[in-house]
Structure 1
Amino acid sequence: MPSTMKAAPLALAALLLASHAAAADEQVVKIGVSGPLSGPNAFAGKDDENGVRLAVEELNAQKIKVGGKTVRFELVSEDDQGDPKAGVNVAQKFVDAGVKYVLGPYNSGVAIPASRIYNDAGVLMSTVGTNPKITQGGYGTVFRIVASDTQVGGSVANYAAKDLKIKNIGVIDDRTAFGQGIADEFTRRAKAAGMNVVGREFTNDKASDFSAILTALKAKRVDAIFFGGYAPQAAPMARQMKQFGMTAKLLGGDTLCSPEMAKLGGDAVGDNVRCAQAGAILEKQAAGPAFIAKFKARFKRDPDVYAPSFYDQTMFIAQSMKTANSVEPAKVNAALRSGSYQGVVGTYAYDPAGNLKKTTVTVYTFKNGALSPLASY
């Protein structure tokens, strides 16, 4: 037998041994992303997913070691459709697949029921759902990685009273957990600030015609309308306000601080719209411009509202694994709750309930189709 033929099996055996050794030196950590990847809020779900994806790709390139083994992060993304029932199914699917870390859900109405499933399974859930109820369930595995409705709704109310000098205001919500929650908080704080809430109207998160609601509020001579809901409804609402000749400002929370508002609303979205978003002004943060540049280079578009927050929290989880020298959720959870992380949009540190200890809220308007910051609180 020629020597080359003898060498081939030996080379193959050596290759297999090396492969097994590399596998033994590696541990896979699945990072789940739950968000609306279909329907009217799919743009937000994809943006959130891209924030996590960018972090995962950077972490895998760094080849971080925990407990003597290299960690390889694996992104597992599921469409929860922004629907509570679908979100619960996604949560159970993640649990069954051995996912121990979940970024999302995006919607408060999905996060509230899903949090119980994640908590019961010891899965860490990091959500941008803003309804206060999310962190009032007593679940020790839940983190809210942005400001709550209490903080955002209060900031918009203070801004409306002090800066806009609003006297009479109408409030509309879409009856979702998010929309109703932030509208309730805004209403409470608006009254405390001396504004008259002259009308409280309701719609839903599938609506596109708001003529009856707007007609009623126009008759009450409102100076502004606060909308608790999402951009796919807020944009046509702004269009119809313009068609009705209404000069009232349209106010809202973080979900209106989206490029989707300008995209869907066109020239009806400008200085007439004011929204508040958790976090300081991204472009003015030390790492902000670099994040925007690399995000755009990777995904061929600018980040939307929450991509930076999802990126930051994924990085904080990885840092906490190194701190705990473990990928076990219970140990990582303890490191997350006792530590802090300087991210792209601010410092992350959590109170016992899983809320951020401190967060800035920035009020924006739109100029030439782009967000333009006005004030930070």
Structure 2
Amino acid sequence: MRDAGLTRRHVGRLAAATVAGLAVTRRARAATQVVRVGIDLSLTGGDAESAVRIKYGAQLALDEANATLDGVRIEAATYDDGTATAGQYDPAQAATNARRMVGDDAMIAAIGPQMSGAAKAMAPILSRGGLAIITPAATNPDLTDPRYAPLYRPGGKTVFFRTVTTDAYQGPDLANYFAETLKVRALYVLDDSGAFGVGLADAFQRRASVKGMRVLGRDRLDPKAADYAAVLTKIKALGPDALYYGGVLMAGVKLVKQCHEILPGLVRGGGDGLVGPEMLTGAGFPAAEGWYATIASPHLADDPRARDFARRYRARFGIVPDDYAITSYDAGLVIADAIRRVHAADGGVTRAAVRDAIQAAKVDTLQGTVSFDANGDLRDRTVSIFQVRRDPTKPLDSVLDQYRYVGVAPTS
């Protein structure tokens, strides 16, 4: 009977210890707050390949953050704002994505979108929902211009941030290069009718006139049209030295192909909408050869500071990153830093607290210290110039290898 009593006491102690252990486990699990970060990009349509590279940059940053965050775990939620009907980004789909993000109580911040037209549809919704978003690629100046705050910032506080500069610099700085370095005297301007393309072409055109270049005309391309021969033939008859295109690759690929046939030998250039593997594989060579394009950030993809990132990126995803994969990675670093600071301050990571932390950010990233002005714009205004030059020894779709870095664009 004595042995049986000892056994009962032993079992009772084991049961108590088990219950206590389960309670500790439950408390530990409860202490880990799961938050979501949205990633909105144009994963369907003409810019999909570029979107994938940007997505991977964000994903890598968030995954690496999870390895070091204590008490918080980030889940990435991917949204596609491109549609087959639009053939590229679709503002209606972007707005739907924004509403879904705002309606998710666990969503505390987002990365994206890729395109300014999508951003214009999303910004008012995100503003009313108090959800901060950091774009690695959308450059239209209106989105952060205080004059348009009632339209894009109806909620009051800034929620739209960028890890790139804007077209207020990207367009004019290439105009400076055309005038000062390439000695262009007369040119023609095209855009693709999108928010990004129109704004970029406007900014370029205004600066071109200031620099003394004659703007012989301006036309708007329909991205869904198959043939731009009529407008290009008209431009040829005017005899310009150069052509500038504001827009993305849905129209850009066709334009590049037909320019090679109708306007050979002309100086040709555009903004970051012409930077992507689609330009290289869709337009192909020799059509793409010689085109100038800008990136609204420092060129870092082959910089020593980014070599380790590029190694990790390639090992994880099997492709080479581009500059906007880097700005996307940096956006992820900024959000992870905001989460870390908020959690350290009071333990609870909220949407409002993360927004405030992003606004006050001073984060060491691949492109240097990222900080934002009161309107959400990146304080660094660097614009980089590239020229497409075929390297037959490298993969055709490698942006890193087929776009030759020219240098930093001359500022206005």
TM-score between both structures, scaled by the size of structure 2: 0.84
Matched, 1:95 2:83: no
CA deviation string 1:263-315 (max 9, x = no partner): 21221345520011022221454421111111111111111342111111111
Matched, 1:73 2:79: no
> Relative to 1, partners in 2 of residues 1:12 and 1:236: Cα closer, same or farther, differing over 3 Å?
farther
In structure 2, how many angstroms separate the alpha carbons of the residues matched to 1:266 and 1:340? 41
Deviation at 1:346, TM superposition (A): 3.3
In structure 2, how many angstroms separate the alpha carbons of the residues matched to 1:96 and 1:186? 39
Describe how 1:1-377 pairs up with structure 2 within 5 A.
Answer: 16-17=22-23, 19-62=25-68, 64-65=69-70, 70-81=71-82, 82-98=89-105, 99-127=107-135, 128-136=137-145, 137-138=148-149, 139=153, 140-244=158-262, 246-283=264-301, 285-324=303-342, 325=345, 327-368=349-390, 369=396, 370-377=402-409
| Letter of the 1:74 counterpart | E
Deviation at 1:366, TM superposition (A): 1.6
> Relative to 1, partners in 2 of residues 1:200 and 1:245: Cα closer, same or farther, differing over 3 Å?
closer
Tell me if structure 2 keeps the 8 A contact 1:232–1:261: no
| Letter of the 2:115 counterpart | N
Could you list the runs of 5+ residues in structure 2 that have no partner in the other structure? 83-88, 391-395, 397-401
Moved more, 309-318 or 8-17: 8-17
| Letter of the 1:357 counterpart | R
> Relative to 1, partners in 2 of residues 1:365 and 1:9: Cα closer, same or farther, differing over 3 Å?
farther
In structure 2, how many angstroms separate the alpha carbons of the residues matched to 1:348 and 1:182? 24
Show structure 1 runs of 4+ deviating over 3 A. 5-19, 283-286
Rg (Cα) greater in structure:
2
| Letter of the 1:348 counterpart | V
Tell me if structure 2 keeps the 8 A contact 1:173–1:183: yes
> Relative to 1, partners in 2 of residues 1:9 and 1:280: Cα closer, same or farther, differing over 3 Å?
same
Q: State how many pairs are aligned.
A: 372
| Letter of the 2:92 counterpart | K
In structure 2, how many angstroms separate the alpha carbons of the residues matched to 1:245 and 1:354? 40
Identity of aligned residues (%): 31
Secondary structure (helix, strand or coil) at the match of 1:199 reads strand
Tell me if structure 2 keeps the 8 A contact 1:232–1:260: no
Tell me if structure 2 keeps the 8 A contact 1:32–1:94: yes
In structure 1, how many angstroms separate the alpha carbons of the residues matched to 2:363 and 2:304? 14
> Relative to 1, partners in 2 of residues 1:15 and 1:234: Cα closer, same or farther, differing over 3 Å?
farther
Tell me if structure 2 keeps the 8 A contact 1:53–1:75: yes
| Letter of the 1:80 counterpart | D
Moved more, 338-347 or 294-303: 338-347
> Relative to 1, partners in 2 of residues 1:31 and 1:274: Cα closer, same or farther, differing over 3 Å?
same
Could you list the runs of 5+ residues in structure 1 that have no partner in the other structure? none
In structure 2, how many angstroms separate the alpha carbons of the residues matched to 1:363 and 1:120? 37
Tell me if structure 1 keeps the 8 A contact 2:334–2:358: yes
> Relative to 1, partners in 2 of residues 1:348 and 1:6: Cα closer, same or farther, differing over 3 Å?
same
In structure 2, how many angstroms separate the alpha carbons of the residues matched to 1:79 and 1:245? 36
Tell me if structure 2 keeps the 8 A contact 1:171–1:201: yes
> Relative to 1, partners in 2 of residues 1:207 and 1:318: Cα closer, same or farther, differing over 3 Å?
same
CA deviation string 1:228-264 (max 9, x = no partner): 1112322332221222252112211112122321121
Tell me if structure 2 keeps the 8 A contact 1:144–1:355: yes
RMSD of equivalent CA atoms: 2.4
TM-score between both structures, scaled by the size of structure 1: 0.91
